[in-house]
Every structure is written in structure tokens, then in C-alpha cells.
Chains A and B, each alone.
Chain A
Amino acid sequence: MDTDDLIARLSASPAVMQINLARMATMMAAAVVIPLVIFLAVCGLRPDLALAWTNPAVPFKTFLPLVVCIVSVALVLRLARPEAASGWLPWLYAVPGGVALTLWIGSFVLRAPEARFAEVSPVALAECLGIIPLLSIIPTVVALRILRQGASTSPSLSAFLAGLSAASGAATGYSLFCTRDNPLFFVTWYSVAIGIVTLIALRFGRRSLSW
């Protein structure tokens, strides 16, 4: 087709609504929160939640994924505009990353060798690696759909971040149910669960965010 014809055709299009990042953020958050509320309503919070939080290591189980989730949502929405660069935002991952690493190493050193991985059992792993990805399915799909409204010039990175924000959001909610408070357990296996979801989102989401 002649370029002038193309322009004539395109210019006959109606007005468009400007992209609304706040609305996209709200919808992504809702897609994380609603499945979590249903899950926690059915399965319940852990019974000893208040008591458990008196152990200073336990709140990290909730706050570390929460921070990762918030940073990822902010970053992926920033990248939804084509001219945007990630800027300084990725550096924020150093905070939860550094805390998690410190927690892991500290627990490893402080615990007796036989207590280090005592909580690792097939049931515990199946629960953790089952529920977090399961709770991530809806938010990942919704996030990828919402992000299609944007125009990321790095679709792979955006798909990766969509999975990361969904899975870390799911882990945040799951942490209120999970009773395994050893940082060696939750740092390791939450990360593995989040990583699995993120890689799947990268693998299958990349194409949906190309345009």
C-alpha cells in the first residue's frame, strides 16, 4: 500500500482515551488480592498469626514479597510507555534481596545443623510450590492482558515483571497461611515458587506483549 493511502486511512480513526496507569495498577492489584481473599477465606489465616509475628523473622515472610510485588508493578507500568527507561527502580530490588540473603545466611549460621532444613518435607514443598503458582495464575494472566494496553519496547522484560509481580503478590498472601517460619525454608522455597511463575510468564507472555 502507498504510504499516503495508509496515512489517509489511519487518520480517519476516532479519538482515543489516553492510557491510565493508575487504573492499570488498580486492576493488577485487584487481580492479586481477590484470589488471595478467596483463598484465605476458604483455608483461613494461620491460627497463631499474632503470636508468630512476635518472632522478628516472621514478618519478613510477608513484607519481602510485598516489596518485590510493589516494585515490580511500579516498574512494569513505567515500562508500559515506549520511551520509558527503568531508571533507578530496579535498584530497589536490592533491599528485599539483601534482607533475604542476610536472613538466610543468619539463620544458617545460628541454627544447629539438624534444625536447618527440618521443615523441608514433600508435603511442605508441595504446599508451597503448589499454592503460590496456583494463586499466581489469575494475576499473571490479568497483568499480561492489562499490559497489552501499554507499549513496552522490551516485551520480554515486561512479561518477566508481570509474572514476578503476580507471584510475589501471591506469596505475600500465602505467607499469612503458611506456618513454616524458618527463613531457610521460606526464603528458599518462596523464591523458587516465584521464580517458576516468573519464568513461565516470560516464556508465554513475551509474545502477547509484542506489538
Chain B
Amino acid sequence: MDGRVQQTEDPWAALLLAANAGDGQAYARFLHTVTPVIRGIVRARGRSFPPDQHEDIVQDVLLGLHLKRHTWRPDHPVRPWVYAIARYKVIDAFRKRGTSIHLPIEEFTDVLEALAEADPLTARDDKREVERLIGQLDPRSAEIVRAVELNEEPQAAVGERLQMTPANLRVTLHRAMKRLASIAGKGE
């Protein structure tokens, strides 16, 4: 394929060519033109991400295009270049965020508040003291606290071992931590 034909045919190429030569208006138009396309790619490929993160990834792609805009060669088609960067950045987003399960923070506000008040386990580094506090819980709660908070086992694994649903486990853990906080508070 002749690159020069491609360049005059594709408005993206004309805009990016002018942009790389320092035309800010053309650059803004280029970015505005590609953004909906990138949004589509992110939406299609990033279905496992919550929608509120899609726009972050779109912006990551735009930044990637910006930082690497000198790697597009005007004698090459521009679209494969844009798509390659979009794909790389979406995969990058998977690598960065995909490993940790993302849950909207709103569901946990009560837990987070409770922890902010007093984290009975980190406040005391004395192991015997922690053990004494946990010993005052019922055995099941104590086991959950030990596994999740002290041994940092994933909640899913603990739930499976104790045959509890994730929601049930979370609630039990939350209550246990609250009770620990109040026990610890009394002891002082």
C-alpha cells in the first residue's frame, strides 16, 4: 500500500501530521476524533472493568498516544498505530488493575469507618495481647480474624474453608473487628 495515498485519504493522518508539526488545534481535533473510537475499544475489551474505570483507561490510551506520538511514521497508516497503542494500554490496565478485584468503595464505608476509629490489631504489636483479645471472641469469629487479618489469607479461601458465603464472611469479620475494637477500648 502506498503510504502517501493513505495519508491524504485518512483525516486522522492529516491531523496527526499537522499535530506533530506543532499545530495545537489539529492535535486537539485529532484527540477529539479518536476518543470515541478508543472509548468503544475500551468498552468492548474491558468488559470486566466497572464502567467508572473505563474513562480512566481511555485517558491512559490518550496519554500513551501523546507520549509516543513521535513513533508514528507519516508513510505508514495511522489507524493500526492508534489501535496498537490502545490495545497495549488496555492490556496494561488489565495487568495493573485486573489482578486485584475491584469493588466500589461505597459498599464498605461502614467497615472503613469502623477501622479508622480503631484498628485493634495493628494498634498493638504485642502478639500475646492480640491473641488475648481474639480469645474473647467466639471460636468461629476468632478463626476468621486470625486467617484474614493476621495471616492475610484471601477472604475467598477462608470462606471456602469455613463453608461461608463471601457476604456472610464479610459481615462476621466486620462484627468481630468491631467487637475487638470495643474490647480493646475497654481494656485501656
A residues sitting closer than 8 Å to B (CB atoms) are 1, 3, 6-8, 10-19, 80-83, 149-151, 153, 210-211
| A153: contacting residue among B28, B67, B88, CB under 8 A | B88
DSSP class of B's interface residues: helix, strand, loop or mixed? helix
Contact A10 B80 (CB under 8 A): no
Contact B31 A7 (CB under 8 A): yes
Is B159 located at the chain interface by the 8 A CB criterion?
no
Bin the interface of chain B by size.
35 or more
Contacts of A18 in B (CB 8 A): 20, 70, 72-74
| B25: contacting residue among A11, A15, A16, A210, CB under 8 A | A11
Contact B24 A12 (CB under 8 A): yes
With A18-B74, A83-B76 known as contacts, the answer to whether A10 contacts B20 (CB < 8 A) is no
B residues sitting closer than 8 Å to A (CB atoms) are 19-22, 24-25, 27-28, 31-32, 35, 55, 58-59, 62-64, 66-74, 76, 80-81, 83-85, 87-88, 92
Contact B68 A11 (CB under 8 A): no
Contacts of A7 in B (CB 8 A): 28, 31-32, 35, 62
Contacts of B76 in A (CB 8 A): 81, 83
Contact A16 B70 (CB under 8 A): yes
Contacts of B62 in A (CB 8 A): 3, 6-7, 10
The list of the 5 closest CB pairs from A to B, nearest first, reads: A15-B22, A11-B28, A151-B68, A83-B84, A82-B84
Contact A82 B68 (CB under 8 A): yes
Contact B20 A15 (CB under 8 A): yes
- Given pairs A11-B25, A11-B31, A19-B71, 5 additional interface contacts (CB within 8 A): A10-B31, A13-B27, A14-B22, A18-B20, A82-B84
Contact B69 A16 (CB under 8 A): yes
Contacts of A6 in B (CB 8 A): 59, 62-63
Contacts of A16 in B (CB 8 A): 20, 69-70
Contact B27 A10 (CB under 8 A): yes
Contacts of A81 in B (CB 8 A): 71, 73, 76, 81
Contacts of B64 in A (CB 8 A): 151, 211
Closest chain A CB from B5 CB (angstroms): 18
DSSP class of A's interface residues: helix, strand, loop or mixed? loop
**Which residue from chain A places its CB closest to the CB of B87 in the assembled complex?**
A153
Closest chain B CB from A18 CB (angstroms): 6
Residue pairs across A and B with Cβ atoms less than 8 A apart, 19 shown, are: A3-B55, A3-B59, A7-B62, A10-B66, A11-B19, A11-B28, A11-B31, A12-B24, A13-B24, A16-B20, A16-B69, A16-B70, A18-B72, A82-B81, A82-B84, A83-B76, A83-B83, A149-B70, A153-B87
Contacts of A210 in B (CB 8 A): 92
Q: How far is the CA of A149 from the CA of B19 in the complex (A)?
A: 19
Contact A8 B28 (CB under 8 A): yes
Contacts of B83 in A (CB 8 A): 83
Contacts of B67 in A (CB 8 A): 151, 211
**Which residue from chain A places its CB closest to the CB of B30 in the assembled complex?**
A11
Contacts of B84 in A (CB 8 A): 82-83, 153
Closest chain A CB from B94 CB (angstroms): 14
Q: How far is the CA of A19 from the CA of B71 in the complex (A)?
A: 5
Contacts of B66 in A (CB 8 A): 10, 13
Q: How far is the CA of A82 from the CA of B71 in the complex (A)?
A: 8
With A7-B35, A13-B66, A18-B20 known as contacts, the answer to whether A151 contacts B71 (CB < 8 A) is yes
Closest chain B CB from A141 CB (angstroms): 21
Closest chain B CB from A183 CB (angstroms): 41
Q: How far is the CA of A1 from the CA of B83 in the complex (A)?
A: 23
Q: How far is the CA of A131 from the CA of B85 in the complex (A)?
A: 39
Contacts of B74 in A (CB 8 A): 18
